[in-house]
Structures are given as structure tokens and as C-alpha cells.
Chains A and B, each alone.
Chain A
């Protein structure tokens, strides 16, 4: 059975802090790993990673994939209250995405 495990389940930080979110996976037929941000509605796409060791960056967010150790991390630096959301990790399999349970990030002013 395919597994995508995110940790921690939730965390609370103050503005300006840095957060690191983890996603580990045990799947067959790995194709890609994706990160999404979900606020009150549907998830919005952040990153798609297919190669190990290549960091992807977008503003204060960055992510990297380790295909040997089967995990990915998502970093958010200089957090702002607008970063408060559920961050979802998904693994692309043969024909579908398998999602983790998500990490709820709360950024306090």
C-alpha cells in the first residue's frame, strides 16, 4: 500500500520564524512529488519535484527532494501571517496523486 506521511501534523510559529515541513513516502512507481498550499478552499500548486538534490525556490519558499532516502522538505523563511495554511504533500504515481494528511501551519503576529 502506498504511503505518504507528513510531519509534523501541526505547528505554531511567530512571524519571522523559519519552518521546515517534512514529507516521507513509500510508494511503487514514483513519478514526482508535489507540494500544495490549502487555505479555505482548494489547494494551490507550489512545487513539483522529480530529481534528487535540486532545490526549487519561489520567494520565501523552497523545497528539495531526496529520492534515495524517500523524503522531501518544504522550507518557509521569514514567515508571515499569510503563510498560515495547510501544506499538502502529494506523490505522483502511475496515473494519480496520493496525498499526505497535511501539516497545519499557524503563524502568529
Chain B
């Protein structure tokens, strides 16, 4: 149980375009999902908390107009990187947890974004 999927696993896009990443909880419902970013050889940095049916909560320093989050259902959250630039190239990971174990977060496999 507690499986989280992400799609795509890898994407290459041109500078100025937008990219959408999907995060799904496959065998449980998640009212809250989290989006992280990880640079090479660094730890995970929380970008935002995605709340089903309401606006996402962004961490300090994360541009909400650049990283659009939509949590349309209890099993799906999307992250859209708008007008991507090379500095947005990174590993993006989502996590979610079964309702009763809020802090027992399970991670998706991650999405490697490369902006050329």
C-alpha cells in the first residue's frame, strides 16, 4: 500500500515553455500532497503544500506564479512550471501520506526536468 506515482519521469523542454508534472496517490486518498525540489547532491527542499479543493501553500522564496499547483481531486495534484528557464532544471518529487499517518509521507519516483 501507500504508492505514489509521478508522470513524466523525465522531461526535456525548451526555455520559455511550460511543463506539467502529475502526482497521483494510487491506493489511498490524500487531502494534502507536497512538492519538493532537489538539486544534485543536496537534500529535498519543500516548495509547496498542495491542498485538495483549496489554494496551495508556498514556502518562502517560491514563486507561486511560476510554480502553479492544482489539487483537483483526492488522488491527483499537478505542478506546472511556467515559462521554464534553465535554472528551473532540477529533480521534482511529490509526496503524500494516508490520512491517519500524516507524517508518514511516501514519495513519488520523481521527475527530472531539463530546460534547454
Residues on A close to B: CB < 8 A?
31-32, 34, 36, 41-45, 48, 88, 90, 92, 95-102
Residues on B close to A: CB < 8 A?
2, 6, 32, 34, 42-46, 49, 57, 93, 95, 101-110
> CA separation between A95 and B102, bound complex, in Å?
9
> CA separation between A97 and B43, bound complex, in Å?
12
List 19 contacting pairs A-B, 8 Å CB cutoff, sorted by A: A31-B103, A34-B104, A36-B107, A41-B109, A41-B110, A42-B6, A42-B108, A42-B109, A43-B44, A43-B107, A48-B101, A88-B43, A88-B44, A90-B44, A92-B103, A96-B34, A97-B46, A99-B43, A101-B42
CB-based closest 8 A-B pairs: A92-B103, A42-B107, A42-B110, A32-B103, A99-B43, A99-B44, A101-B43, A42-B93
Beyond A32-B103, A41-B110, 14 extra complex contacts between A and B, CB < 8 Å: A41-B109, A42-B107, A43-B93, A44-B107, A45-B104, A48-B103, A88-B43, A90-B44, A92-B103, A96-B46, A96-B49, A97-B95, A98-B46, A100-B43
With A43-B44, A95-B49 in contact, do A34 and B106 touch (Cβ < 8 Å)?
A: no
In the complex the two chains form, is B103's CB within 8 Å of A34's CB?
Answer: yes
> CA separation between A90 and B93, bound complex, in Å?
15
